């Protein structure tokens, strides 16, 4: 995993609630056996019509918007546990998703792929959407050591939560498997008392 | 609906069912971090496991505890002509990859056509692989199903599948606990699916996010094992990490019936099972109560499982859990208007099956309502048993003959049209009454319009050709 410390970027606004993982990556694109290429089909059925032509009204096809931060409505990533959703978001080039509420499994999957889910208040989220509507070049800054997100257009900022362990993982580019493998001894000891 | 937060009483040592299983499986908890949780059993299917096995190979690792992993392909498999090679070569590759990975790493696999093949969440409980008090994971959100047996079961992502393959542990933040209590007697034609759709319509698709649910109360106790599996299956649709029900006589009878009466279980295990209930005085982070009498046969009108109403109701002008914009978008997709009734609306497809409603009791209910009537001409019906075992039960009980005479066809087991990864796709714009679990845009095929319901509402639509209140048949 790449290290994550701070990031300043323009954003892609998706003011839609309850974006489920079937929309992020439809099931018919889950047949690959590697993690590559899912970004091409991110939001496939919103992004392309039935003839494979880009839907001009969809934000990913709007040249005004770009950047490595996706900002979405509440309850982002609900539904299926498919990690392909996180691979699609990461594969497309996003490193951060900002929302007022994330589904649990998606949040874990995102973090396991170096995509930082940042939970903000409903008011702050509405503020970001307003900033980007006024100025599509408005940027956000994510400062992980300080756990602070700043809307650089308005200058407003907010603290965000992340547990100390996950924060260390992001700052150092570690993943859970490395850590668990380093603790195999504890697992064998646990099994002796468990059985 | 009663809604409130509990405060800890004097008895600080009283623990919930969830606490007991979680604590027993805790290897360690990191300071301001997740718990390292030991996993008793993991199921792997073909869609969410290949990258995890590839990760193991890259790291040069073996599977740490191969006996605790079971591989079952179910998502991609066709529901006709399973004896022939899968025509879709990409699907075939994924299914074959699972078999190869199971072989290479020494894991049990029930491949396509095996008598124990079927949908993981149907096969696990009916083969004694899922047992009370276990921790169970699978790269599939509907792993919550297994909680019906008194297990602590939840869906995980592929990175976490790799963690379990490598170490038999996952890192998880301890969720909050919620008890949903339902008391009272269910009305005519109301089953477990209606209870679940009712709960989700009340609390919303994010209403239980961050929580693990325990279902309790007289109504839940009176549900059969199949009904409990349906109820826990849908926990994830309210955002919960999982749902569970304390094991009781119904659970133990089910295990004896499916696994056999022979003493397969150690005394230590049986003793542990006896402790699996929430102590009186145990405190949940949130408590919600419903009355069974308030629940009617349910359907959904929108594009998430929280957009549900009684079958003969009118589509509400707004849904308490979604903005007006979200509801409008959903109704545009479905081709419905706020304020309209759905009864009498023509339907094109019926899907009976999935990990939600693909068990014998669902087929009995469907066949019972059809009894003596015929499938409507405008309906294409896909009746897909959840496993070969269910398929066999259908045959033994003569339900297959009855349904075939009524114009239906019973297919071979698999996930099928629930997520349309195989050929069972609902065409764009068509309406399907589905007993599955998700009515998301495009879930059953690009442009498909899904109306979720229980087996009785599905059967009523199948014989009348329109959305019909099963109580009127």
| CA closest to A21 among chain B residues | B440
Sheet of B152-155, strands arranged across: B108-109, B69-71, B41-44, B135-138, B152-155
Residue from B22, B2, B151, B136 nearest B69 by CA: B136
pLDDT of B93-112, one tens digit each?
999 999 999 999 999 999 99
Listing DSSP states for B291-320 in one string gives EGGG---EEE-SSSTT-EEETT-B--S--T
How crowded is residue B472: how many other Cβ atoms within 10 Å of its Cβ? 11
For residue B59, which residues of chain A lie inside 8 Å, CB to CB? 177, 181
Q: Which of residues 33-92 of A touch B (CB under 8 A)?
A: 33-35, 45, 50, 73-75, 78-83, 86
For residue B36, which residues of chain A lie inside 8 Å, CB to CB? 180, 183, 186
Contact check, Cβ <8 Å, B47/A45? no
Residue from B353, B352, B358, B365 nearest B125 by CA: B358
Q: Is B304 on the interface with A (CB under 8 A)?
A: yes
Per-residue pLDDT of chain B (473 residues; tens, 9 = 90+): 333 333 333 445 899 999 999 999 999 999 989 999 999 999 999 999 999 999 999 999 999 999 999 999 999 999 999 999 999 999 999 999 999 999 999 999 999 999 999 999 999 999 999 999 999 999 999 999 999 999 999 999 999 999 999 999 999 999 999 999 999 999 999 999 999 999 999 999 999 999 999 999 999 999 999 999 999 999 999 999 999 999 999 999 999 888 775 556 778 888 899 999 999 999 999 999 999 999 999 999 999 999 999 999 999 988 778 888 899 999 999 999 999 999 999 999 999 999 999 999 999 999 999 999 999 999 999 999 999 999 999 999 999 999 999 999 999 999 999 999 999 999 999 999 999 999 999 999 999 999 999 999 999 999 999 999 999 99
Q: CA–CA separation, B94 vs B15, rounded Å?
A: 43
| CA closest to A108 among chain B residues | B157
Cα–Cα distances in angstroms (integers) from residue A98 to residues A1, B101, B256, in the given order = 20, 37, 49
Q: What one-character DSSP code corresponds to residue B1?
A: -
Interacting residues of B263 by C-beta distance below 8 A, sequence separation 6+: none
In a domain, A1, yes or no: no
**Percent of chain B scored above 90 by pLDDT?**
91
pLDDT of B237-250, one tens digit each?
999 999 999 999 99
Contact by Cβ (8 Å): B298, B311: yes
Q: CA–CA separation, B443 vs B436, rounded Å?
A: 10
B25, B206, B415: which to substitute to probe chain A, counting the most A Cβ within 10 Å? B206
Q: Is B103 exposed, middle or buried (0-12, 13-18, 19+ CB in 10 A)?
A: exposed
Domain that holds residue A92: 6-194
Contact check, Cβ <8 Å, A31/B155? no
Residue-range domain boundaries for chain B: 2-288, 303-472
Sign of CA pseudo-dihedral A142, A146, A152, A156: positive
Q: Is B217 on the interface with A (CB under 8 A)?
A: no
**Tokens 């009370």 belong to which residue?**
B132
Shortest alpha-carbon distance between residue B236 and chain A (Å): 7
Contact check, Cβ <8 Å, B441/A23? yes
Q: What one-character DSSP code corresponds to residue A182?
A: T
Phi/psi of residue A128, each to 5°?
A: -65, -45
CATH number of the domain within which A143 lies: 3.20.19.10
Interacting residues of B364 by C-beta distance below 8 A, sequence separation 6+: B397, B399
Which structure tokens are listed for B367?
């066949």
ipTM for the predicted complex comes to 0.95
Contact check, Cβ <8 Å, B438/A79? yes
Cα–Cα distances in angstroms (integers) from residue A117 to residues A148, B6, B170, B437, in the given order = 13, 30, 20, 26
| CA closest to A83 among chain B residues | B157
Phi/psi of residue B3, each to 5°?
A: -135, 125
Q: Where are the alpha helices (DSSP H) in B45-172?
A: 50-59, 89-105, 120-126, 158-167
For residue B76, which residues of chain A lie inside 8 Å, CB to CB? 31
- In CATH, which superfamily holds the domain spanning B2-288? Aconitase, domain 3 (3.30.499.10)
Q: What would be the CATH architecture of the domain defined by B303-472?
A: 2-Layer Sandwich (3.30)
For residue A27, which residues of chain B lie inside 8 Å, CB to CB? 75, 419-421, 443
Contact by Cβ (8 Å): B133, B151: yes
How many beta-carbon pairs under 8 angstroms link A with B? 188
| CA closest to B175 among chain A residues | A104
Report how far Cα B45 is from the mean position of its chain's Cα atoms. Answer: 15
| CA closest to B140 among chain A residues | A81
Query: How high is the pLDDT of residue B72?
Result: 98
The helix/strand/coil state of B194 is helix
Q: Is A183 on the interface with B (CB under 8 A)?
A: yes
Specify the number of domains making up chain A. Answer: 1
| CA closest to A28 among chain B residues | B421
In a domain, A26, yes or no: yes
């Amino acid at each position: 995993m790449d290290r994550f410390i701070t990031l300043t970027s323009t954003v892609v606004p998706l003011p839609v609630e309850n974006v489920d993982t079937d929309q992020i990556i439809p099931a018919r694109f889950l047949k690959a056996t590697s993690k590559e290429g899912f970004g091409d089909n991110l939001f496939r059925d919103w992004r392309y019509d039935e003839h494979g032509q880009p839907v001009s009204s969809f934000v990913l096809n709007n040249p005004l918007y770009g950047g490595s931060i996706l900002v979405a409505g509440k309850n982002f990533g609900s539904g299926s546990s498919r990690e392909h959703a996180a691979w699609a978001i990461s594969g497309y080039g996003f490193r951060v998703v900002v929302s007022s509420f994330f589904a649990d499994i998606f949040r874990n999957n995102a973090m396991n792929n170096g995509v930082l889910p940042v939970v903000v208040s409903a008011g702050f989220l509405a503020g970001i959407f307003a900033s980007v509507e006024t100025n599509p070049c408005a940027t956000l800054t994510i400062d992980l050591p300080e756990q602070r997100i700043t809307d650089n257009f308005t200058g407003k900022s907010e603290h965000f939560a992340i547990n100390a362990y996950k924060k260390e993982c992001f700052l150092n580019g570690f993943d859970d498997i490395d850590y668990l493998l380093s603790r195999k001894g504890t697992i064998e000891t646990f099994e002796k008392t468990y059985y | 609906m009663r809604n409130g937060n509990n405060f800890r009483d004097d008895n600080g040592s009283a623990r919930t069912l969830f606490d007991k299983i979680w604590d027993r499986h805790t290897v360690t908890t990191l300071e301001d971090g997740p718990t390292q949780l030991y996993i008793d059993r993991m199921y792997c299917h073909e869609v969410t496991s290949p990258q995890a096995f590839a990760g193991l190979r890259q790291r040069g690792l073996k599977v740490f505890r191969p006996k605790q992993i079971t591989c079952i392909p179910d998502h991609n498999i066709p529901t006709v002509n399973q004896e022939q090679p899968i025509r879709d070569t990409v699907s075939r590759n994924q299914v074959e990859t699972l078999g190869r990975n199971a072989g290479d790493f020494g894991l049990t696999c029930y491949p396509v056509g095996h008598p124990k093949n079927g949908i993981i969440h149907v096969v696990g409980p009916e083969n004694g692989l899922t047992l009370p008090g276990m921790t169970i994971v699978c790269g599939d959100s509907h792993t919550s199903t297994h909680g019906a047996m008194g297990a602590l079961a939840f869906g995980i992502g592929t990175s976490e599948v790799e963690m379990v393959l490598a170490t038999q542990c996952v890192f998880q933040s301890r969720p909050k606990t919620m008890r949903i209590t339902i008391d009272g007697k269910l009305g005519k034609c109301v089953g477990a699916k209606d209870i679940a759709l009712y709960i989700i319509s009340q609390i919303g698709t994010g209403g239980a996010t961050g929580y693990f649910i325990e279902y309790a109360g007289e109504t839940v106790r009176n549900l059969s094992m199949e009904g409990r599996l349906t109820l826990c299956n849908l926990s994830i649709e309210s955002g919960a990490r999982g749902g569970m029900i304390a094991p009781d006589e119904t659970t133990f009878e089910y295990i004896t019936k499916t696994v056999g009466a022979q003493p397969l279980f150690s005394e230590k295990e049986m003793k542990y099972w006896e402790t699996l209930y929430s102590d009186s005085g145990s405190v949940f982070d949130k408590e919600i109560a419903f009355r069974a009498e308030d629940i009617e046969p349910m359907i959904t009108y929108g594009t998430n499982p929280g957009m549900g109403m009684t079958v003969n109701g009118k589509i509400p002008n707004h849904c308490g859990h979604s903005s007006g914009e979200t509801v409008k978008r959903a109704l545009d997709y479905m081709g419905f208007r706020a304020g309209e009734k759905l009864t009498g609306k023509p339907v094109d497809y019926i899907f009976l099956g999935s990990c939600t409603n693909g068990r014998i009791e669902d087929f009995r209910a469907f066949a019972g309502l059809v009894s003596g009537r015929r499938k409507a001409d405008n309906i294409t019906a896909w009746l897909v048993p959840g496993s070969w075992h269910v398929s066999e039960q259908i045959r033994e009980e003569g339900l297959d003959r009855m349904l075939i005479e009524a114009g239906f066809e019973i297919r071979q087991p698999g996930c099928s049209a629930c997520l349309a990864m195989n050929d069972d796709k609902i065409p764009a714009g068509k309406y399907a009454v589905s007993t599955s679990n998700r009515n998301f845009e495009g879930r059953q095929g690009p442009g498909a319009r899904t109306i979720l319901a229980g087996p009785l509402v599905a059967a009523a639509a199948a014989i009348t050709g329109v959305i019909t209140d099963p109580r009127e048949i």
